[in-house]
């Protein structure tokens, strides 16, 4: 635990935020205070039902012995396109959500400030608050899991785009896609996603982490598959780096947990494809990045904590039990 030379409020004086990362297969729920100490965590099977999600949150608060009146706000990350200003989910195919008034629906269960954003945007906020991007104002997060997504922090702010669709790298195209008449459409996996996602790697008859283990052991078939994966991923990263000039690119998501054996190869390939320098790292906060970011989103939007600038030396810390 990091020692602070300040008087700490008692638990009864603390304010907390609930961060919920609703994924395609799992929901991660965290409860943290404004200092960044994580008091409770739970992972459950995913659901698109609001009564189920709210029930899990209620159970977590009860288990953590935190009364609702000490919860300043709640943040949610969703696997799709969200209008964070209006509190709506435009599209989240994995949950079968289409133009869902998320904030309004969730406030039926909790009379608290409710904030929602894309799950990878939340992961970026998590990396900035407690992870690999503390004190950075320009970075990109690339999440590789069941699908593929990214989030862009530029000049200290999330880049959302005119229709809240910035960072939808699943729809990046390579020359082979054009020559093969590949097309991108909402509701379907994007052309880039079909090359580097967990679903894409699973088409070879084995789980993605097993493919990387086979690659490390020198299996010829796995080497061919993973080398192509590295090539495709590196092209995408190099294009992002050339366009955005980020200080750092952070790789997260389920597949990223298997990338340590090819990380240096990715770095070398990207550096050969673009002369613009950057740092490429794996997430330091793992699968909790999205939920941590949802906590940060709630605290920031509720005005409990302020966005941290590049010159602020008092970086938040997390206490992991």
Per-residue tens of pLDDT for the chain, all 321 residues: 334 444 455 555 689 999 999 988 899 999 999 989 999 999 999 999 999 999 999 999 999 999 999 999 999 999 988 999 999 999 888 888 999 999 999 999 999 999 999 999 999 999 999 999 999 999 999 999 888 999 999 999 999 988 888 888 988 988 888 878 888 877 778 889 999 999 999 999 999 999 999 999 999 999 999 999 999 999 999 999 999 999 999 999 989 999 999 999 999 999 999 999 999 999 999 889 999 999 999 999 988 765 544 333 333 333 333
User: How are beta strands 88-92 and 114-118 bridged, if at all?
Assistant: unpaired
Which residues of the chain form beta strands (DSSP E)? 16-22, 26-33, 38-45, 71-78, 81-83, 88-92, 97-100, 114-118, 139-144, 148-154, 157-158, 248-252, 279-282
Tell me the whole-structure pTM to 2 decimals: 0.86
CB 251 within 8 A of CB 281: yes
Give the neighbor-by-neighbor strand order of the sheet with 248-252.
Answer: 157-158, 148-154, 139-144, 248-252, 279-282
Total Cβ atoms within 10 A of residue 203: 10
Total Cβ atoms within 10 A of residue 45: 10
**Between vectors from CA 184 to CA 183 and to CA 186, what angle results, nearest 5°?**
145
The sign of the dihedral angle between the CA atoms of 204, 206, 212, 214 is negative
- CA pair distance 186, 178, nearest whole angstrom: 18
Token pair, residue 170, equals 């699943």
Which residues lie closer than 8 Å to 269 by C-beta, 6 or more apart? 230, 231, 234, 238
Which residues lie closer than 8 Å to 313 by C-beta, 6 or more apart? none
CB 267 within 8 A of CB 196: no
Q: List the end-to-end C-alpha distance of the chain, in Å, as a whole number.
A: 9
Query: No. of H helices and E strands in the chain?
Result: 10, 13
CB 284 within 8 A of CB 290: no
């Amino acid at each position: 635990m990091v020692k602070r030379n300040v008087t700490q409020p008692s638990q009864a004086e603390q304010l907390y935020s609930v961060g919920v990362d609703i994924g395609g297969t799992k929901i991660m729920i965290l409860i943290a205070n404004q200092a960044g100490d994580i008091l409770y965590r739970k992972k459950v099977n995913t659901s698109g039902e609001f009564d189920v999600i709210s029930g899990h949150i209620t159970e977590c608060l009860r288990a953590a012995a935190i009364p609702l009146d000490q919860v300043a706000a709640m943040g949610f990350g969703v696997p799709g396109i969200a209008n964070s200003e209006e509190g709506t989910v435009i599209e989240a195919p994995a949950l079968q959500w289409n133009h869902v008034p998320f904030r309004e629906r969730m406030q039926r269960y909790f009379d608290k400030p409710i904030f929602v954003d894309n799950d990878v945007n939340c992961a970026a906020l998590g990396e900035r608050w407690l992870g690999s991007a503390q004190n950075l104002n320009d970075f990109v997060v690339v999440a590789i899991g069941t699908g593929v997504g990214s989030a862009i922090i530029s000049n200290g702010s999330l880049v959302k785009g005119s229709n809240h669709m910035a960072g939808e790298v699943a729809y990046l195209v390579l020359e082979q896609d054009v020559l093969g008449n590949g097309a991108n459409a909402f509701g379907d996996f994007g052309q880039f996603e079909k090359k580097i996602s967990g679903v894409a790697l699973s088409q070879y008859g084995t789980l993605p982490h097993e493919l990387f283990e086979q690659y490390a052991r020198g299996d010829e078939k796995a080497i061919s598959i993973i080398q192509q994966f590295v090539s495709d991923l590196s092209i995408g990263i190099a294009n992002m780096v050339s366009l955005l000039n980020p200080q750092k690119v952070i790789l997260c998501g389920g597949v990223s947990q298997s990338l340590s054996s090819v990380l240096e190869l990715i770095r070398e390939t990207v550096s050969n494809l673009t002369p613009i320098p950057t740092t490429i790292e794996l997430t330091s906060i793992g699968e909790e990045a999205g939920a941590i970011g949802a906590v940060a989103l709630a605290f920031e939007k509720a005005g409990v904590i302020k966005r941290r600038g590049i010159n602020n030396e008092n970086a938040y810390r997390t206490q992991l039990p």
